[in-house]
Amino acid sequence: MASSLDASMVPSLHVSGLFLDFSKSAKHVESAQVRVGKLHMPVEHGEGKTLQQTFSSPIKLSTGDSFSLHVCHSVTWFGIKAVEDIRFDTKEIFRLFGSSGEPDTREYVKTHKKFTITVKLSRNTGTESVPSSGEHLELQPTTDEIIRICPRFRILVIGNTGVGKTSLINHAFGVEKATISHNMPGEATIDHEFISKQNDRFVLHDSKGFEPGGKDNFDMVRGFIERRRKMPDLKDQLHAVWICFEIPYAGRRLLETATEEFLTLKRDEKLGKIPLVIVLTKYDMLIDRVNRTLDDSSIAGLSEDAIKEFIKNKAETELQDVCFGPLKKFAGSDIPCAVISTKVKYEEKMAHLIQETEKRVREHVASEASVMTSIAQRVDPGLNIQASIDVGKRKYWKALASSSTFKGHSMWDCLHVLHADIVAVWNFQDPHGYLDSPEFRTLMANMVDGLDVGPTVDPTKNVAFGLSIVGTIAGILAALAGPAAPIVVPIVASVVIAKWVYEVYQQSRAAFQRFMKYIIDLTLVLQTLYLVSQNHELTRRAIKLAIKSYHESPTSGVVHTQIQDFDRKSTFLERADRDSLDRFVELIRSYVISAEEMSRLRVHIPAVGSSPDEPWEDEKV
């Protein structure tokens, strides 16, 4: 039997297809993925209440692999949505079908509640040795390894009740209700891990601030930081600390004695290298206070913009006297300080806090933790794009023209892993897996192959990406018959997918151009989706609007023309070198929308993410 064989001679099985029948269940399955180890493959809808998929490249299954069906379903009567993993016992599967005496093709049937799952298995005719470095290896997303090492950004937030911690967490990580400890007296401690269902890429530890005369909480925080610092695995360590204070009125004291001692310990590196950022909250209230106390004579004759600048400068002077001076005395100059407000028009302040945090995590913790910081936050899309670049350059972007990493794989397999990494970094609220669906991948492949040619533009013309997109969105929404009118984007899977699936990767100008277009198009579509979804749960309608608005905007034509122009002017060796990759990265960065600009643009766009959803099928042609 398989379990008794030497590890280097274990027979392998391959999952060549799967069929899910949920006709006897009150639940409606909206999407499903076969998950074998780190590989995730979608299962398409069949007739009636079924899902079925035949894998053109069967998925290799080994005895030590995890094997499950990830299902998103709703109860028809109530519309309540849920996600669950239906796990398979690989040892049992190999016990039944791993023997060399079994037929080459078998079906394994599993019943789970009122679901019936049939897995089609094929067995290799002999035994397999462990692959050597020269053999064809399965492509795995780089983000899978990062998430394995550091699945969540772990942060401790310190601050007294009323300082604005809950609003800070909700805004920074794009969740609606962050439950913190003093909202649940007697139920939670600093060791409790708060994980939001709306964003499970961060874990929050909460603590009150250091009140006058109180030493218990000070010792608790110090002990917690020390315990986490000694943990061997990055996923269990603390990645950052935010200590929060409300900006005080002029003349009031900012720091208590215990807080001064805590900052001094950090300054003297007695708390280790864990990044600490001081967060001064409610900046908007300071601005309002300065505005109310203005002497009219000081602003006489000034324009509205000049008055705003005057108020801002006066607020900065007060901050220097009341906050920055005392903080520098005890914290030193190496501990960063961020002044924030969760009000919409101060988006750049929140972005600064996130940027400072990510920078310190990158410098003092680990690259995986800094990537997870960028993934977890939902304030600055520029950090998502930067994380996508960092992830891409680790491995697969180097293979665009010069590496053998993609050798032997189909173009579709290569795109699959590039797509998975980029989507994972954006961390949208996507419980249905729409961004990993065959439909969305096909829409992106259509755009890259130019089946539906976008607007003709001058590639030398400077296009304001954000304004271009917002104008196009407004035009699309205005052209619809009503709020329920479907957004039509053609899916031509039979033409495009066949071209990508059956073509084997080889180093060529055509392959290089297609990869560059796919990466940049996908990145800019997701940035557009960030703009229109506004941190709501993703809908197909919002996704289609993002695709259509990007494709119909002048920007898409400029991007494709710039890539073609770049490729035309470069020799193959130039495209393969590091400088070429850096120029490609600069092209992506040139289209980043800042957090401040994103905030201004969103004012002109309705919250599409909260609109009723619509099926993919409406756009088939």
Q: Is the pLDDT of residue 6 over 50?
A: no
Query: 128 and 219 share a domain?
Result: no
d(CA 421, CA 387): 10
pLDDT digits (tens, 9 = 90+) for 298-313: 888 888 888 888 898 8
Query: 424 and 369 share a domain?
Result: no
Token readout for 151 is 């699945």
Query: 231 and 124 share a domain?
Result: no
Q: Final residue of a domain: which of 322, 356, 379?
A: 379
Query: 425 and 320 share a domain?
Result: no
CATH code of the domain covering residue 127: 2.60.40
Query: What was the pLDDT predicted at 39?
Result: 80
Q: Is the pLDDT of residue 621 over 50?
A: no
d(CA 238, CA 156): 7
Confidence of residue 451 (pLDDT cuts 50, 70, 90): very low
Q: Is the pLDDT of residue 173 over 90?
A: yes
Mean pLDDT of the chain: 81
Alpha carbon distances (Å) from 553 to 22, 118, 542: 42, 45, 16
State the average pLDDT over residues 411-418.
87
Q: Helices 465-479 and 595-602, interaxial angle, to 10°?
A: 20
Query: What was the pLDDT predicted at 365?
Result: 95
CATH code of the domain covering residue 372: 3.40.50.300
Query: 278 and 390 share a domain?
Result: no
Query: 288 and 399 share a domain?
Result: no
Alpha helices (H) in 106-215, listed in sequence order: 142-149, 165-173
Q: Is the pLDDT of residue 458 over 80?
A: no
CB count within 10 Å of CB 310 equals 16
Q: Which of 185-194, 245-254, 362-371, 510-519 has the highest mean pLDDT?
A: 362-371
Confidence of residue 102 (pLDDT cuts 50, 70, 90): low
State the average pLDDT over residues 221-239.
93
**DSSP calls for 277-340:** EEEEE-HHHHHHHHHHT--GGGGTT--HHHHHHHHHHHHHHHHIIIIIHHHHHHH-SSS-EEE-
Query: 449 and 560 share a domain?
Result: yes
Per the structure, how many domains does the chain have?
3
Identify the residue with better confidence: 59 or 566: 59
d(CA 75, CA 80): 5
33 contacts 53 by C-beta, under 8 angstroms: no
Only one residue has tokens 């940035």, namely 527
Q: Final residue of a domain: which of 322, 352, 379?
A: 379
pLDDT digits (tens, 9 = 90+) for 109-140: 999 989 999 999 886 533 333 333 334 457 88
**What type of residue sits at position 165?**
K
pTM of the model: 0.75
Query: 178 and 66 share a domain?
Result: no
Alpha carbon distances (Å) from 451 to 237, 444, 445, 489, 491: 49, 11, 9, 12, 10
Q: Is the pLDDT of residue 544 over 80?
A: yes
Query: 78 and 34 share a domain?
Result: yes
Query: What was the pLDDT predicted at 553?
Result: 87
Query: What was the pLDDT predicted at 294?
Result: 85
Token readout for 156 is 């401790």
Query: 432 and 508 share a domain?
Result: yes
Q: Is the pLDDT of residue 106 over 70?
A: yes
State the average pLDDT over residues 545-554.
89
25-39, 89-103, 251-265, 376-390, range with the lowest pLDDT: 89-103
State the average pLDDT over residues 326-344.
85
Q: Is the pLDDT of residue 617 over 70?
A: no
For 410, the domain range is 382-619
71-85, 102-116, 142-156, 530-544, range with the lowest pLDDT: 71-85
Beta strands per DSSP E along 462-507: none
Query: 273 and 251 share a domain?
Result: yes
Query: 605 and 472 share a domain?
Result: yes
Q: Final residue of a domain: which of 89, 106, 138?
A: 138
